[in-house]
Chain A
Amino acid sequence: MLCQKCGGKKASVHLTKISDGLKSEMYICEYCARESGELDFTMEGKFPLYQFFSSMMGLSAPESDPVLAPATNREAQCPVCGLTYSQFGQIGRFGCARCYVSFGKDILPLFRRLHGNLRHIGKIPSRAGTQLKFKQKLEHLKLELQKKVVAEEFEEAAQLRDKIRELEKGIAAGGE
């Protein structure tokens, strides 16, 4: 593909720009990217907090600094929305709910610094809550099943398997 800016060189930079909540995508060549300053990823707007994020996440310090830049997977990428950990550090925004799982433990220090806590206390949506309970029960039953199989208690294992199937059907049907 040719650069969408100059139309002459081969596009080697896929630029996804989120500015003021608006997303724009461009395929440009390296030269145009450097020329336009787009490779800087500097944030527009007045959110000094963004800048704190990357330092809280150890992204602004040189990788050799063991204190400021703890070993994190800078290139971890969310499989759903495509946001990378470094991009998250730059924009200070998650791309989707899955990002919270995709970036794993690396984002926990940020939460600890922002909130001083890592566990939600308070309202639980009743639907998701119901699902949550079913999922917890399912996990528990699966563990039990494994134990029964290992212990060769097949009759009980079969009963557990049936229960698991029933529960999985319930979850698929909306948690009832």
Chain B
Amino acid sequence: MSGSEGEGNRQEQEQGEEAFPVGPETEAENAAAQTVNSAGQQSGQQQNQQPDEWKRLQEITSKWMKGMGPEEEIVISSRIRLARNINGLPFPPLASDTQREKVLALAHSVLQEQSEHFREMRLIHMGSLSPICRQVLMEKHLISPLQVKECHAGAVILRADEVISIMVNEEDHLRVQCLLPGLQLERGWQEASRYDDYFEQSLDYAFHEELGYLTTCPTNVGTGLRASVMLYLSALTLTGQLNHFLTAVNQVGLVVRGIYGEGSEMVGGLCQISNQITLGHSEEEIWQNLYSVIRQLISQEKKARQQLLNQQREKLADRAGRAYGILKYARMLDSKEAMQLISDVRLGVDLGLLQHVPLEILSELLTLISPGCLQYLKGRNLSPYELNLERAIRVKQCLP
């Protein structure tokens, strides 16, 4: 079900003993990246190599992370995903290699036929990326864990700003995704739907009069739409109210998970909330329902923050300061601890108790501390022990 997309279990990845064969990262990406320019031709993508930590961070974190969105102090990002299949071809799990190649060729031809709409996009073949590169894309929520494991003719079509990513031959033939900072579900839906239309102009979708868009998993049938919002409910967690609210959220057909999907733990109040039902409600109803619940949660979170600020100002400032101190000077950090500390610092920044840490750095750090990114930056495989050392070094360098 929904857990198959864009996430994975970070803890599990860290414990994994299996070493990642490290490919020549930049060359691999260069070889794989093809820019479709306005004339529909492809050209190699140049990658800027900079030793400077900030430059590397910019390369590794999505451009959209630099921009801030509505309700940015609580909401990290909003995501809309549409699952689509092409008529007349078996769905990817049962498709033969040739059939999967055909899907990829069809997707590629759409990019060429409608080059005016895909000027900023590049098609990246999964097979030409090293496992670490694929893991980085997954940690950035641009591809799914399914695509990390190399599957035949798998690809992702990425817009330069990484707001739009279209997975090819994932669980469904196409998964059109729009990822935006802050609470922007409406824009996300409009953007994703626009790209969906471009594909639909050239492809015959598997569509059923009564059941809507036909998907590989019965949990996606109908609209094929998954809307999700990643947000910090730190104060509700600290005041012990979170479970109360999450139970209510579950009752209105929404699912709450950790940011790395099904089975992943919620740390520091950071969670992901998404719709579960895809059939029988229109796309607008689905995202609006999620939007109104998120609005409610934001207002409750703000109330709880104010309450904490009024009653335990010094305690909160102390917590944020300590967290900052550990992040800045620790020599080893595991990902759970780092996430918790980032959350504590963030709350301090939001409430004006810590002034000198920009919020966007904290958002970027969330991606940077993941195992794939750390290994990508280091340029080699790291053991869990080495990962903890490396994480501490990176965090220290990035914090002002």
Is B221 on the interface with A (CB-CB < 8 A)?
yes
B146 touches A117 (CB 8 A): no
CB distance from A129 to the nearest CB of B (A): 8
| Known contacts A95-B91, A96-B94, A97-B206, A122 near B282 by CB under 8 Å | yes
B94 touches A81 (CB 8 A): yes
A121 touches B146 (CB 8 A): no
CB distance from B176 to the nearest CB of A (A): 12
Quick one: CB contact mask for A21-38 with B, threshold 8 Å, 1 for yes?
Answer: 111000000000000000
Chain B residues whose C-beta falls within 8 Å of the C-beta of A116 in the assembled complex: 277, 280
Is B283 on the interface with A (CB-CB < 8 A)?
yes
- Contacts of B202-219 to chain A: CB distance below 8 A: 204-219
User: Which chain B residue lies CB-closest to A101?
Assistant: B208
- Contacts of A26-52 to chain B: CB distance below 8 A: 46-47, 49
Stretch touching chain A among B45-53, B82-90, B391-399: B82-90
Give the residue among B94, B214, B216 with the most A Cβ atoms within 10 A: B94
Question: DSSP majority for the A interface?
Answer: loop
Chain B residues whose C-beta falls within 8 Å of the C-beta of A125 in the assembled complex: 200, 205, 207, 213
B94 touches A123 (CB 8 A): no
Chain A residues whose C-beta falls within 8 Å of the C-beta of B1 in the assembled complex: 47, 49
B91 touches A96 (CB 8 A): yes
Q: How far is the CA of A20 from the CA of B147 in the complex (A)?
A: 9
CB distance from A51 to the nearest CB of B (A): 12
A115 touches B210 (CB 8 A): no
Is A18 on the interface with B (CB-CB < 8 A)?
yes
A21 touches B151 (CB 8 A): yes
Is A154 on the interface with B (CB-CB < 8 A)?
no
Chain A residues whose C-beta falls within 8 Å of the C-beta of B205 in the assembled complex: 125, 127-128
A83 touches B263 (CB 8 A): no
Is B281 on the interface with A (CB-CB < 8 A)?
yes
Chain A residues whose C-beta falls within 8 Å of the C-beta of B87 in the assembled complex: 97, 128
Q: How far is the CA of A95 from the CA of B200 in the complex (A)?
A: 21
B218 touches A81 (CB 8 A): no
Is A124 on the interface with B (CB-CB < 8 A)?
yes
Is B331 on the interface with A (CB-CB < 8 A)?
no
User: Which chain B residue lies CB-closest to A120?
Assistant: B212
B212 touches A100 (CB 8 A): no
| Known contacts A23-B94, A97-B206, A122-B283, A46 near B262 by CB under 8 Å | yes
Quick one: CB contact mask for A138-175 with B, threshold 8 Å, 1 for yes?
Answer: 00000000000000000000000000000000000000
Is B149 on the interface with A (CB-CB < 8 A)?
yes
A122 touches B223 (CB 8 A): yes
Interface residue count on the A side (C-beta < 8 Å): 40
Is B171 on the interface with A (CB-CB < 8 A)?
yes
Q: How far is the CA of A81 from the CA of B215 in the complex (A)?
A: 15
| Known contacts A22-B151, A120-B211, A96 near B89 by CB under 8 Å | yes
CB distance from B163 to the nearest CB of A (A): 20
Is B93 on the interface with A (CB-CB < 8 A)?
yes
| Known contacts A46-B263, A80-B90, A120 near B171 by CB under 8 Å | no
CB distance from A68 to the nearest CB of B (A): 19
CB distance from A97 to the nearest CB of B (A): 4
Chain B residues whose C-beta falls within 8 Å of the C-beta of A118 in the assembled complex: 210-211, 279-280
Quick one: CB contact mask for B55-87 with A, threshold 8 Å, 1 for yes?
Answer: 000000000000000000000000000000101
B90 touches A121 (CB 8 A): no
A121 touches B210 (CB 8 A): no
User: Which chain B residue lies CB-closest to A96?
Assistant: B90
Is A70 on the interface with B (CB-CB < 8 A)?
no
Give the residue among B90, B197, B285 with the most A Cβ atoms within 10 A: B90
- Contacts of A96-115 to chain B: CB distance below 8 A: 96-97, 100, 107, 110-111, 114-115
Is A132 on the interface with B (CB-CB < 8 A)?
yes
A21 touches B171 (CB 8 A): yes
Chain A residues whose C-beta falls within 8 Å of the C-beta of B3 in the assembled complex: 46-47
Chain B residues whose C-beta falls within 8 Å of the C-beta of A49 in the assembled complex: 1, 219
Q: How far is the CA of A117 from the CA of B149 in the complex (A)?
A: 34
Chain A residues whose C-beta falls within 8 Å of the C-beta of B281 in the assembled complex: 117, 121-122
User: Which chain A residue lies CB-closest to B96?
Assistant: A23
Q: How far is the CA of A97 from the CA of B197 in the complex (A)?
A: 20
Give chain B's interface residues, CB within 8 Å of chain A: 1, 3-4, 85, 87-96, 146, 149, 151-152, 170-171, 193, 196-197, 200-201, 204-219, 221-223, 225, 262-263, 277-285
The 3 closest A-B pairs by CB, nearest first: A117-B280, A120-B212, A97-B206
**Can you name 30 A-B pairs with beta carbons within 8 Å?**
A21-B92, A22-B152, A23-B94, A46-B3, A49-B219, A80-B90, A91-B93, A94-B91, A94-B215, A94-B216, A95-B94, A96-B89, A97-B214, A100-B208, A100-B211, A111-B279, A115-B222, A115-B277, A116-B277, A117-B281, A120-B211, A120-B213, A121-B280, A121-B282, A122-B212, A123-B213, A125-B200, A125-B207, A128-B200, A129-B207
Beyond A110-B218, A122-B223, A122-B282: 6 further Cβ-contacts under 8 Å?
A: A21-B170, A22-B151, A96-B90, A119-B210, A119-B279, A120-B208
